[in-house]
Structure 1
Amino acid sequence: MPQTPDLSASQLSEIIEMALSDHVSFGQITQQHGVTPDQIKSIMRENLKPGSYQSWRKRVREFGDRREHYK
């Protein structure tokens, strides 16, 4: 599991909110917070309920298949 940097509660909250948005890419989150896509997925896995995490990953994968530049 990727090591996540020390983040404040507000930073974690912002990363989760950004990741849940369909309009923000992993690249934008990385630029703003310095976390890798694998770290973002790890943060989401740790902070969402299992079903919510699975739904989020499915949505990200499906959007990624339809759009060249998505998460």
Structure 2
Amino acid sequence: MKSINLDNDLDLNRIIEMAWEDRTTFDAIKFQFNLKEQDVIVLMRKTLKPSSFKLWRKRVQGRKTKHEAKRTYDLGRFKCSRQRSISNNKISKR
């Protein structure tokens, strides 16, 4: 497995935030930060407290919304009403 090299703490915080979000897929994290699902799991294990990591893994494991291929809706991606205020995304909003 490759070593995880992040530019700054903002990237680390954004990855953790995206990993906790129900509707953000691992594919989106891979697209934005080039981290596979297994890399995200390793990062979360290193960063979170053991109890927090266990809660996160229990929550994420098998969740359809975290895997693009398992999603059932075809209407497009979910957009939060507060998304305009999120400014740490590297991808421009359209």
Q: Give the shorter-chain TM-score range.
A: 0.7 to 0.9
One-letter identity of the residue aligned with 1:54: K
CA distance in 1, matches of 2:6, 2:29: 15
Higher mean displacement: 1-10 or 34-43 = 1-10
Query: Structure 2 matches for 1:1-71, cutoff 5 A?
Result: 2-64=2-64, 68-69=70-71
CA distance in 2, matches of 1:32, 1:44: 17
Give structure 2 stretches of 5+ with no counterpart.
Answer: 72-94
Q: Which is richer in helix?
A: 1
CA distance in 2, matches of 1:58, 1:23: 16
TM-score by length of 2: 0.63
Aligned residue-pair number: 67
CA distance in 2, matches of 1:2, 1:49: 23
CA-to-partner distance for each residue in 1:20-49, whole Å, 9 max, x for gaps?
Answer: 000101000000111111111111111111
Supply the RMSD in Å over aligned alpha carbons: 1.8
Query: After the TM superposition, which parts of structure 1 deviate over 2 Å for at least 4 consecutive aligned residues?
Result: none
TM-score by length of 1: 0.81
